[in-house]
Structure 1
Amino acid sequence: INPDFQIGCMINMTPVYPASSKPADIFQAEKAMQRRYWFSDIHALGKYPENMEVFLKQNNFRPDITSEDRIVLKEGTVDYIGLSYYNSMTVQSKESNPGFHFIGPELTVDNPNVEKSDWGWPIDPLGLRYSLNWLADHYHKPLFIVENGLGAYDQVENNQQIHDPYR
């Protein structure tokens, strides 16, 4: 409609760390990042990443995509990436998961190197910087932080205000 408009997407960015320096944990974290952010490739790059193309084909998902569809995706990329960031995630590989599939909570472990919020979420300020670097390296697009914070149980004081210097 207007070529001067700047259109972006919004993602929930939760970087994934390996639980240890074991190669299997590092690879599990990589596979988790691939599985969590493949759709960002579509938004920013206009194509599915190769690992998702293989996954979709192996599972007979989306057999009807056409070359015209691929052209539309390539021509419709975003101008910037908006993101929310609240915490990081740490995963550990399991022998019962030899394909390194990302199955969320079953692989998530506590990270002893970061504190936790009242809600049990990792408090990881450096994770925001890691996220920004990762997104910039992958997509080469301007980044816009639209949400960032720390979940906590707030106390309303006598003057009906919340003072939260811990944030």
Structure 2
Amino acid sequence: MEKQFNTKTGFCHILPDKIILTRDGIIGNVANVAVGKSITRVFIIYGGIAAFLLFSAFDSFQKGQILISIFSLIVSLFLIYGIFKSINNSATPIIERIDIKSIKFKKAIFGITRSRFEVLFKDEKGKIKKRIIMLPGSMKDGTKETEKAIKIMKEENLLKQ
């Protein structure tokens, strides 16, 4: 029997043999265009912005604009750090339950982050990947939806807490 809960961009369907993430509405359509089934596009965008900011930092430094160059350098380093930290992330919409190694729940930091599940699983190539399932924010009844998602994950013995 299928159980489902809302996510940031659509729904998470918990089936007996797999987890399926679907996208819905305007946010889901934008996510499909921007990310698709791979996060390579996001890495390219972040890398391009980081390269532009590094060039801007160098150019500003040569012109004597130290504060602008420091700001550009810090933002570009933050983007580069994000790329390296996310290199093993996946945007796959289907995760076989047999391949799941662990699922962790990360609670939201009010006003800064959303609650989310981090699913560690083995992909078709045998590599360990991380799929982040972002839950709805406070503007979309996030607390209620988070409680529902946690309850479903515990009922399905996917979340150990």
**TM-score normalised over the length of structure 1:** 0.21
Larger strand fraction of residues: 2
**TM-score normalised over the length of structure 2:** 0.22
Higher relative CO (Cα under 8 Å, sequence separation at least 6) belongs to: 1
